[in-house]
Every structure is written in structure tokens, then in C-alpha cells.
């Protein structure tokens, strides 16, 4: 530690201490406090020239009691505001929400991080919130009581999160979830057990699809959940032994990313997930045979959910073990290569429009429309209306308005991560992109802002948080 004096203009500051273990920038910050001159404007004369922010004190030869000269102009003195400062906690909660830039966290009620992270991810879907707002409080005759109660509890919990900046206790929602699905109420030594977040996600969406699709609930689209999250797969099932072949169609709420030694990226895992082997009876052979099932996407949702198949049942330990392998995933996902031929044709025109728009942004001239472009147009209805086509839009439109069309390109908007070695232990966290574009880590009742570049680092390879579920939002174009 050295003590020097500093002369600035007509003033002399004696006995200014220099901590030589710190870079000169720290010393400049001290002088800023004394003189009001910001570090970037300070010119301090030392042996060999001007003092640099990252210089080494040992090579500068500054001695005890030395007088240093500083030049630079101070900042203007800030005038006292006419109104006193208003503290965050004194603002109405609605204004606090705007100032903070994100919604509230959720208290952990005892190993309920799997539930909290699921709720935070789904809460980020505005179209789902709009559908729930219209859901009636009175149960319809064609719906079971617990499904109605869980849907109503979801609506109320979303509403609480939208209005509060303080953590919310999801007690009613948790109680109804356990009543509807008793497996989430399992106890061990008198304590509620950790559960699988993917199972919670799937069961909650299934319940909402039943409630919001109830015939007595006349929302704009009875297939709201299917339109938002449903993926239609068309599969070719082939037996090499007998040459039998058949096709089948199914609807799922997520694509599976299978993880093996060959999988390093989400794209590779999805490719593996769309192929599977199954054993079933062969009418031609009169016995069981192995069939190869190859699936393609035939209809896309507004929000595409991807599950990383990280857990498998380990007989030796009699529990779900975890695959820790690192699997990278992108901020922008293009699923065109996984689509059926019919869907690829429907996506061509919207994708060309998207390329033209991106070309304009990049300063390139958009391609001229061909005379046959109208024939390639794909009519895709709104989320709020029934649809048999491959895409939907999030906003209602009139007949005169252009429709929003899916392109097969999706942007990452939420990641649910798991930290630990088993699905039934460890800790779950939600990482959600806000409408402002900022990312928030929802670790139960503690929301923390995060940088976008750090979100794709949750790809695994160790004991840190790694992606278990990714949710992507469709990029659409008007046509």
C-alpha cells in the first residue's frame, strides 16, 4: 500500500492510498470519488507517460509520498430532483411488474420444483392463457370433476402470476394436481417425493386438452391444446422378414430426442427418435416378428416441445438413471427435414416468403413472385378456429386479413432443466424467454435474469443443470 498526493487543477489531495495489488483502474475510481472526473477522462502522469488502466504498479516506479498530476474535466453536478425518489416496493404491483420485466416465482412446497418449472414454462404461452381466461368456473356435465378443478386451478394460478411480483404459493393447484393424479402425492418418510417434470407436463396438457376441448365449452377452437402443442405423425411400419407394410397416424405432444454415443446434437437425436423397432404378431408368419417404424411429421403446432430422453430404468439400482451426455441444441430449430412430403410442399411458399423477408433485412433484393405461387399457398387457420391443416396463428383474423402460416422454423422460448442423477431426485428449474426478449431463470421463488448466450450451455456433460424439455415457438409469415 502506497500513499501519494494528487494535484488536480487548483486542488491538492494529500494522502491518497494506492492498493498496488489492484489495477490502476481501481485507483482512478478513487479519484473519481474525490474529483468527480470519470476514469475514462483522467490523464495521470507517471514515469514513461500516461497511467493505463491495466498497468503493472511494480514497473511504474511510483514511490511513497510522490506527487502525481491529473488532468480531466469533472461531470456536471446533478441537480436535486423536484420529486423525491420512488422506491420499487412503493409502486403498485402492476407497475412493479413492468419495472422488473418478469412475472413472479413459485414457492417450493416440498419437492415441488418439478411442478413449478412446468407451470412457469406453460405460463409463458399467451394463447394458452387466453383460452383459460374464457374457461367457465362452473363444471360442465361432460367433464369429470377433478379435470375441471385442475383446469380452473391452472387458470387461477396463471392469473396470480400475472398480477404479482412477489412469490406465489401454488397450494390450491398442487392439492388438485395430487387429487387428479395420485402419483404426485407419493410420500417417503412422511415427506412428498420428487417427481418427473415430463410426466407432470404431459398429464397437465392432457387434462387441459380434455377441459378446453369439452363440447359444452364453446371456445373459438375446441382443439386449442392440439393446435398449440399437438404434433401429427405419419408412420410407415415395415417387417423385413415378411415384407408386410402398413401406415398409421398418431398425435403426440412432443418429439423425443434419443441419446446415444452417436448423438451430439438435437437434430441427430430427433432423427433417432423418429425411428424405432417394435415386436408384434405377424399374420403372414403366424408368430411375433420385428417391425421397423419410421415416422415423419405431417402437421406442426404453434409451440413445438422436445423431450431429451435422458432417463432409463436401471435394474441394478431399481430406479431411473440419467444419461449425462452433452447434447447441443439451437436457439433456432428447423424441422423441415423431418416433415412428410405433403407437409414439405405446404411449407415451401411460406419458407420462401420468410427467406425473402430475411433477405430484405440483409439488404438483398427479394425474389419476384412466380405466376404459380398462388397455387402453392397453404391455407392455415387460426388457433382459435378448428383446423385440419398443418399450422395455426396466435391471433384471430377477419376474412380480409392475411393468415399466418407456419414455416417449419422455430425459436427457443423455454427450457426446463434437471440437475442430479435421477428423475425422481435432484432439482428442476425453468428458463423462460419474456416478451421483451430477456431470459429469466425461475428457480422456484427466485427469478434471476440470464443472458441468451448462456441458455444453450445447458446441454449436459456434467452434474450442472441440463436441458430435459425445450419449447420452441413457430416462426410464421402472413399470406
The domain locations on the chain are 2-71, 97-230
**Most confidently predicted of 41-50, 287-296, 327-336:** 327-336
Please confirm, yes or no, whether 265 is among the known catalytic residues: no
Classify residue 177 as exposed, middle or buried by CB count within 10 Å of its CB (0-12, 13-18, 19+): buried
pLDDT of residue 79: 59
CA distance 181 to 161: 23
Task: Specify the higher pLDDT residue, 469 or 383.
Answer: 469
Confidence of residue 277 (pLDDT cuts 50, 70, 90): confident
CATH class of 97-230: alpha beta
Q: In angstroms, how far is CA 46 from the centroid of its own chain?
A: 52
**Quick one: cell of 258?**
434419443
**Quick one: cell of 49?**
507517460
Nearest to 293 by CA among 280, 304, 306: 280
pLDDT of residue 398: 43
Q: What percent of the chain has pLDDT over 70?
A: 84
459-472: average pLDDT: 92
pLDDT of residue 387: 37
Output b/e per residue, 422-451; b: 16+ Cβ within 10 A: bbbebbbbbbbbeeeeebbbbbbeebeebe
Asked if pLDDT for residue 463 goes beyond 70, the answer is yes
44-48: average pLDDT: 81
Nearest to 415 by CA among 438, 435, 440: 440
Asked if pLDDT for residue 250 goes beyond 60, the answer is yes
Q: How far is CA 389 from CA 38, 227, 353, 398, in A?
A: 61, 10, 19, 18
pLDDT in tens, 157-182: 999 999 888 999 999 999 999 999 99
- Kindly report the pTM of this predicted structure: 0.72
Nearest to 386 by CA among 143, 221, 207: 221
pLDDT of residue 124: 95
Catalytic one among 238, 265, 272, 427? 427
pLDDT of residue 470: 98
Please confirm, yes or no, whether 470 is among the known catalytic residues: no
275-293: average pLDDT: 87
Q: Is CATH 3.40.1260.10 the classification given to domain 2-71? A: no
Confidence of residue 464 (pLDDT cuts 50, 70, 90): confident
pLDDT in tens, 177-225: 999 999 999 998 888 999 999 999 999 999 999 999 877 665 556 678 9
Q: What percent of the chain has pLDDT over 90?
A: 51
Catalytic one among 113, 121, 200, 339? 113
Amino acid at each position: 500500500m502506497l500513499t501519494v498526493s494528487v494535484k488536480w487543477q487548483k486542488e491538492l489531495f494529500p494522502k491518497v492510498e494506492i492498493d498496488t495489488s489492484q489495477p490502476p483502474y481501481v485507483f482512478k475510481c478513487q479519484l473519481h470519488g474525490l474529483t468527480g472526473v470519470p476514469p475514462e477522462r483522467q490523464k495521470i502522469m507517471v514515469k514513461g507517460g500516461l497511467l493505463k488502466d491495466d498497468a503493472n504498479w511494480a514497473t511504474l516506479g511510483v514511490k511513497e509520498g510522490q506527487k502525481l498530476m491529473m488532468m480531466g474535466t469533472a461531470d456536471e453536478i446533478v441537480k436535486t430532483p423536484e420529486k423525491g425518489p420512488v422506491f420499487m416496493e412503493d409502486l403498485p404491483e402492476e407497475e412493479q411488474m413492468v419495472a422488473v420485466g418478469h412475472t413472479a416465482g413459485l414457492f417450493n412446497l416440498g419437492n415441488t420444483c418439478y411442478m413449478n418449472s412446468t407451470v412457469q414454462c406453460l405460463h409463458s404461452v399467451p394463447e394458452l392463457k387466453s383460452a383459460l381466461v374464457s374457461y367457465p368456473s362452473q363444471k360442465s356435465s361432460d367433464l369429470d370433476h377433478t379435470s375441471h378443478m385442475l383446469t380452473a386451478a391452472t387458470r387461477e394460478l396463471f392469473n396470480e402470476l400475472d398480477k404479482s411480483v412477489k412469490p406465489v404459493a401454488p397450494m390450491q393447484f398442487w392439492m388438485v394436481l395430487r387429487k387428479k393424479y395420485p402419483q404426485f402425492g407419493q410420500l417417503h418418510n412422511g415427506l412428498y417425493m420428487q417427481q418427473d417434470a415430463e410426466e407432470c407436463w404431459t398429464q397437465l396438457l392432457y387434462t387441459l386438452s380434455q377441459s378446453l376441448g369439452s363440447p359444452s365449452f364453446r371456445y373459438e377452437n375446441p382443439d386449442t391444446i392440439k393446435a398449440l402443442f399437438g404434433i401429427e405423425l405419419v408412420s410407415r411400419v415395415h417387417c423385413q422378414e415378411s415384407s408386410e407394410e402398413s401406415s398409421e397416424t398418431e398425435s403426440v405432444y412432443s418429439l423425443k430426442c434419443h441419446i446415444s454415443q452417436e448423438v451430439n446434437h438435437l437434430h441427430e437425436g430427433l432423427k433417432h427418435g423418429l425411428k424405432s423397432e417394435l415386436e408384434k404378431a405377424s399374420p403372414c408368419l403366424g408368430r411375433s416378428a420385428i417391425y421397423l417404424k419410421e415416422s415423419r411429421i405431417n402437421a406442426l403446432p404453434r409451440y413445438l416441445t422436445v423431450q431429451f430422453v435422458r432417463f432409463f430404468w436401471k435394474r441394478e439400482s431399481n430406479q431411473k438413471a440419467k444419461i449425462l451426455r452433452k447434447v447441443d441444441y439451437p436457439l433456432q430449430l428447423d424441422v423441415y427435414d423431418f416433415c412428410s412430403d405433403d407437409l414439405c410442399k405446404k411449407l415451401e411458399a411460406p419458407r420462401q416468403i420468410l427467406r425473402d423477408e430475411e433477405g430484405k433485412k440483409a439488404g438483398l433484393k427479394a425474389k419476384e413472385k412466380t405466376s404459380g405461387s398462388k397455387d402453392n399457398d397453404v391455407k392455415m387457420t387460426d388457433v382459435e378456429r378448428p383446423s385440419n391443416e398443418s399450422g395455426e396463428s396466435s391471433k384471430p383474423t377477419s376474412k380480409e386479413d392475411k393468415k399466418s402460416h407456419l414455416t417449419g422454423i422455430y425459436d427457443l422460448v423455454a427450457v426446463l432443466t434437471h440437475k442430479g442423477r435421477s428423475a425422481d431426485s435432484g432439482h428442476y428449474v425453468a428458463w423462460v424467454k419474456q416478451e421483451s426478449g430477456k431470459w429469466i431463470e425461475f428457480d422456484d421463488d427466485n427469478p434471476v435474469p440470464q443472458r441468451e448466450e448462456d441458455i444453450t450451455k445447458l446441454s449436459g456433460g456434467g452434474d450442472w443443470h441440463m436441458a430435459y424439455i425445450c419449447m420452441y415457438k413457430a416462426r410464421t409469415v402472413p399470406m
